[in-house]
């Protein structure tokens, strides 16, 4: 993929050694351009990628480094390496024998080229890996065995508002802006899933909530354990899709689909979906409600007043039946569904209290003062009674309440069913 053109300078080497080096074929993706000189005075080594020189070439190691630059690979050929000073050793990358035979020079040069290729390949892999993960819109991170972060991508940095340099080697609590105490509590910090991945020994998928400086984030994560060459656990790699906004939007759409826009109660459509499921496995008590004189309010004061009355009534409904399923069926009709072991006596007590609350609310506003509510109650005797049956019974009982004078409740009986027929 890459192309590496090497300028190789040989200074002061015997012809046999120079010939050996010149005979080596370049490795894949590499080309060689070799310059040969007897001494430094005859050649400018400033553009060298590799500089192999003999100590007797007339210039010391430190000066050679100055001439070649810091990026060049500088190798000195001398037999008295043990006598070199610390500065002289620091100025070169390697020390070869002072006298190089053809085979020795070729062996050392081939080894050098392989090392350079390994470094170049490692650089390329580093570049490709970082480029790939930085291109991803998902968060990507690599952790050590103790939870320290060693590599992250740009998307990760953008979420936590920190640089890669600042993140490297740091723990979760620092990166996400938590205190050590919050981290130790273990809530919303992914501790459990890290342990799960380690124990599973394979890639695992999670839906996680992560607390950060900007609040709670919802993530779908894939985590994979990493092992060293001995097969020992050395950390994890994680990929996470931040679905916070998507989930909030999904919940918003779901709520819009399930609730009545005006009152915030469940709507008729969702009523049949939710309550039909409940009716199949639970005993339900249905209270079917209809506002009295609501049409007169709309005709006299307009639909805005009617809407205000409906919103207020819905609030009273929720306050009085917080554990029930509360539904606006449409217009001025509402349903309250109670679940479980509800007795007729307890229903009467709740409805008596509810009627008082409704009267109190409507009496506060002059234009609402003529409103009241009629309620029909269908007591499901057992689980499995179809929802349509219960709703019909509640509706029939509600009309009995209206015929009996309004502002009251009636319990459904079989006599009402016969009269309805």
User: CATH number of the domain that 175 lies in?
Assistant: 3.30.450.20
If asked whether residues 301 and 392 sit together in one domain, one would say yes
- Predicted pLDDT at 340: 80
The number of residues in the chain equals 421
- Predicted pLDDT at 419: 52
Q: Is residue 100 part of a domain?
A: yes
C-beta separation of 373 from 287 below 8 A = no
∠ at Cα 44 (38, 45), nearest 5°? 85
Taking the CA atoms of the chain, what radius of gyration do you get in angstroms?
41
If asked whether residues 169 and 219 sit together in one domain, one would say yes
If asked whether residues 237 and 379 sit together in one domain, one would say no
If asked whether residues 106 and 36 sit together in one domain, one would say yes
State the Cα–Cα distance between residues 141 and 155, nearest whole angstrom. Answer: 10
Q: Domain boundary residue among 132, 149, 180?
A: 132
Q: Domain boundary residue among 225, 247, 269?
A: 247
If asked whether residues 414 and 299 sit together in one domain, one would say yes
The secondary structure of 259-281 as a DSSP string is B-TTT-SEEHHHHHHHHHHHHHH
State the Cα–Cα distance between residues 198 and 226, nearest whole angstrom. Answer: 9
- Predicted pLDDT at 1: 65
Q: Is residue 254 part of a domain?
A: no
- Predicted pLDDT at 187: 57
If asked whether residues 125 and 143 sit together in one domain, one would say no
Number of domains in the chain: 3
- Predicted pLDDT at 133: 94
- Predicted pLDDT at 208: 84
- Predicted pLDDT at 186: 55
If asked whether residues 16 and 106 sit together in one domain, one would say yes
Q: Where are the alpha helices (DSSP H) in 208-343?
A: 244-258, 268-281, 294-301, 303-320
- Give every residue of the chain whose pLDDT is below 70, as ranges: 1, 180-191, 212-213, 417-421
C-beta separation of 314 from 263 below 8 A = yes
Q: Is residue 272 part of a domain?
A: yes
Q: Is residue 208 part of a domain?
A: yes
Q: Is residue 253 part of a domain?
A: no
State the Cα–Cα distance between residues 299 and 304, nearest whole angstrom. Answer: 11
State the Cα–Cα distance between residues 352 and 304, nearest whole angstrom. Answer: 29
User: CATH number of the domain that 60 lies in?
Assistant: 3.40.50.2300
If asked whether residues 281 and 215 sit together in one domain, one would say no
C-beta separation of 44 from 1 below 8 A = no
- Predicted pLDDT at 421: 47
User: CATH number of the domain that 272 lies in?
Assistant: 3.30.70.270
If asked whether residues 203 and 294 sit together in one domain, one would say no
Structural domain boundaries enclosing 147: 136-247
Q: Domain boundary residue among 104, 132, 160?
A: 132
């Amino acid at each position: 993929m890459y192309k590496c053109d090497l300028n190789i300078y040989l200074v002061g080497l015997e012809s046999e050694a120079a010939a050996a080096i010149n005979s080596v074929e370049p490795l894949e993706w590499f080309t060689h351009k070799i310059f040969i000189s007897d001494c430094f005075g005859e050649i400018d080594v400033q553009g060298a990628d590799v500089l192999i020189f003999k100590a007797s070439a007339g210039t010391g190691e430190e000066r050679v480094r100055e001439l070649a630059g810091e990026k060049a690979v500088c190798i000195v050929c001398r037999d008295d390496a043990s006598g070199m000073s610390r500065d002289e050793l620091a100025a070169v990358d390697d020390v070869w024998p002072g006298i190089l035979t053809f085979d020795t020079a070729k062996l050392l040069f081939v080894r050098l080229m392989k090392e350079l290729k390994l470094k170049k390949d490692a650089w390329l892999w580093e570049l490709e890996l970082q480029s790939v993960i930085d291109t991803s819109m998902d968060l990507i991170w690599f952790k050590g065995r103790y939870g320290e972060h060693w590599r992250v991508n740009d998307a990760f940095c953008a979420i936590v508002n920190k640089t890669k340099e600042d993140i490297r080697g740091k723990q979760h609590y620092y990166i996400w802006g938590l205190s050590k105490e919050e981290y130790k509590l273990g809530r919303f910090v992914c501790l459990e899933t890290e342990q799960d991945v380690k124990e599973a020994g394979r890639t695992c998928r999670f839906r996680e909530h992560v607390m950060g400086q900007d609040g709670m984030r919802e993530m779908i994560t894939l985590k994979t354990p990493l092992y060293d060459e001995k097969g020992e656990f050395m950390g994890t790699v994680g990929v996470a899709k931040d679905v916070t906004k998507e989930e909030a939007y999904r919940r918003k759409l779901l709520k819009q689909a399930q609730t009545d826009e005006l009152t915030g109660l469940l709507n008729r459509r969702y009523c049949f979906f939710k309550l039909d499921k409940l009716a199949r496995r639970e005993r339900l008590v249905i209270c079917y409600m209809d506002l009295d004189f609501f049409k007169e309010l709309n005709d006299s004061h307009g639909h805005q007043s009617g809407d205000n009355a409906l919103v207020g009534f819905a609030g009273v409904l929720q306050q009085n039946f917080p554990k029930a399923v509360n539904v606006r069926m449409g217009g001025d009709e509402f349903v309250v569904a109670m679940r479980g072991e509800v007795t007729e006596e307890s229903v009467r007590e709740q409805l008596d209290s509810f009627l008082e609350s409704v009267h109190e609310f409507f009496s506060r506003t002059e234009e609402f003062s003529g409103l009241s509510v009629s309620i029909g109650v269908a007591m499901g005797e057992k689980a499995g009674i179809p929802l349509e049956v219960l709703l019909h019974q509640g509706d029939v009982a509600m009309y009995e309440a209206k015929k009996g004078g309004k502002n009251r409740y009636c319990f459904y009986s079989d006599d009402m069913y016969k009269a309805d027929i």
